[in-house]
């Protein structure tokens, strides 16, 4: 299937999607800048695991350890002085980002 999907990833749309995805008790806790930072760190994690390599076959299934990813984000946010977030809070952003990507059929 040599079909090339032309998905358009839009950072602003991603942030809006994640803000809407957050449960009521977390709405307003994260600024748009916080979410952009966290999404950037999520992609740093993907790169560190080789998930973004150009030579990955489209049929290759990539497993992401969500707990490890969440811990990576929490640690980097603290180290970079962005904020002290709990793993539970970050999990919602990770899941929101994954849901946004799925809405674009990025994983197909």
* pTM for this entry: 0.81
The tens digit of pLDDT for each residue in 8-34 reads: 888 999 999 999 999 999 999 999 999
- Angle between helix axes 32-48 and 11-21 (nearest 10 degrees) is 110
CB 5 within 8 A of CB 105: yes
Mean pLDDT of the chain: 85
Nearest residue to 62 (alpha-carbon basis) of 96, 10, 107 = 107
For residues 102 and 97, give the distance between their C-alpha atoms in angstroms, rounded to a whole number: 9
Q: How far, in Å, CA of 106 to CA of 87, rounded?
A: 25
pLDDT digits (tens, 9 = 90+) for 39-55: 999 999 988 887 766 66
Domain ranges of the chain: 11-52+63-103
CA–CA gap between residue 48 and residue 68 (Å, rounded) = 12
Task: Using a pLDDT cut of 90, give the percent of the chain over it.
Answer: 60
């Amino acid at each position: 299937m040599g079909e090339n999907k032309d998905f358009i990833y839009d950072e602003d749309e991603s942030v809006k999607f994640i803000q809407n995805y957050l449960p009521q008790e977390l709405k307003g806790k994260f600024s748009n800048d916080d979410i952009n930072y966290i999404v950037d760190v999520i992609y740093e994690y993907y790169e560190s695991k080789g998930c973004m390599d150009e030579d990955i076959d489209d049929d290759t299934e990539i497993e992401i350890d969500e707990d490890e990813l969440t811990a990576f984000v929490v640690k980097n946010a603290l180290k970079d002085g962005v904020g002290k977030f709990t793993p539970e809070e970050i999990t919602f952003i990770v899941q929101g980002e994954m849901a946004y990507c799925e809405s674009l059929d990025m994983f197909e």
